[in-house]
Amino acid sequence: MTDVVVLCTRNRPEEVTRCLASIAAQVALPQHVLVVDSSDDDATRRAVHSELVGWPAGSRLEHVPSRPALTHQRAVGLARTQADIVHFVDDDVDLDPGYFAAVGAIFGAQPDVLGVGGYVTNRAAWRVRRIDTWFGLDSRREGAVLASGRNVPVRTRPDAPIDVDWLSGCAMSYRRAALELEPPDESYPFEGEDVQLSHRVRRHGRLVVTPEASLVHHESDAGRIAGAAQVQAELATRHRRVVAAGSGLSPRAFWLSAYAQLVKYSVSGVLTMSRRRIEIARGTARAMRLARLPASVTPIDASAAD
């Protein structure tokens, strides 16, 4: 199988340089690496060109300019290649040297697997609270997409590859045939686009997260929305995902989770005087109002980085 890396970036030349170093060190390097760049200046282009000297033989590194919006950049990268396997990798990750070898082994051995995700080794410890499971805000089933549309990450390193409902956009790989059936949806410009894409692919076959494909996700602050704006974007796109035709999710469960989230963070924010929790409550309230507006209303600037 042929494969390609599509690395989407915006105004993060240092992160791109570090990510490319981890790609160049792979024991099974993809034949083509595309850096799809929507930066405001040429710093990233120059960083990519500096990597061309000494880039490993048998692989081609290419810089491709694009307008902003993550799903558009993914589509640009997809259109530039006909490789059998497409690896979408964020610019702020470091991949273990065996990452692509582990992903390729899954695709080679299991034809019914349409998508493979890596295991993020630096996720913060998280306690799943029973009350959150009651209201559709969390689950002990890792890698799940709940009826409320909430997506649960794989937090604990599994002993073997596990089936999941969605893949994290920081490092997710697909068969091209699956992406031809379910291409990136550019109406989801950034927040939640990975869940929206992978959950659609899941209708046609299996998705797997394998511990052998490990990585560190640094979650760069450059260009990343935060606070109330991030919460607002997440809840708004989650609502769209839930009400979409064929989603199999529950609008009733969504609204139960949204009200629970609003009450939880409003009360805890006031009691603890936590600015972060108050921001979560504020973003939740805004998104709940927007969920009742026509779909043509776009609450967040589509040029924001993931």
235, 277: one domain: yes
Note if the pTM is more than 0.85. Answer: yes
What are 55-77's pLDDT values in tens digits? 999 999 999 999 999 999 999 99
Residue 298 in any domain: the answer is no
Average pLDDT over residues 168-186: 95
Are 242 and 206 within one domain?
no
126 within domain boundaries: no
69 in any annotated domain: yes
Q: 212 and 167 share a domain?
A: yes
Secondary structure of residue 263 in the 3-state scheme: helix
Domain match, 110 and 170 both: yes
- pLDDT value, residue 293: 58
Q: Does residue 266 form part of some domain? A: yes
Among 3, 199, 5, which residue's Cα sits nearest to residue 107? 3
**Cβ proximity of 35 and 16 under 8 Å:** yes
Residue 48 lies in a domain: yes
Tokens of 93: 């990750």
Q: To the nearest whole number, what is the mean pLDDT of the chain?
A: 92
Point out the least confidently predicted range of 15-19, 127-131, 133-137, 223-227.
223-227
- Determine the pLDDT at residue 302: 35
Whether residues 31 and 104 fall in one domain:
yes
The 10s digit of each residue's pLDDT in 188-245 is: 877 889 999 999 999 999 999 999 999 999 999 888 888 899 899 999 999 999 999 8
Confidence check: pLDDT of 290 > 90: no
Q: In this structure, are residues 74 and 17 in contact, taking their beta carbons and an 8 Å threshold?
A: no
Of 189 and 280, which is predicted with more confidence? 280
Q: Does some domain include residue 116?
A: yes
Residue 134 lies in a domain: no
What is the total count of domains within the chain? 2
Task: Count Cβ atoms below 10 Å from residue 177 Cβ, excluding itself.
Answer: 11
Closest CA to 89 of 160, 142, 39, 18: 18
Within this chain, do residues 286 and 172 fall inside the same structural domain, yes or no? no
301 pLDDT band (50/70/90 cuts)?
very low
Same domain assignment for residues 76 and 183: yes
For residue 250, give its domain range.
Answer: 227-290
HSE-CB for 132 with a 13 A CA cutoff: 15
What would the mean pLDDT of 25-44 be, rounded to a whole number?
97
What pLDDT is recorded for position 297? 41
Residue of higher predicted confidence among 22 and 189: 22
* 68 plus 98 within the same structural domain: yes
**What percent of the chain has pLDDT above 90?**
84
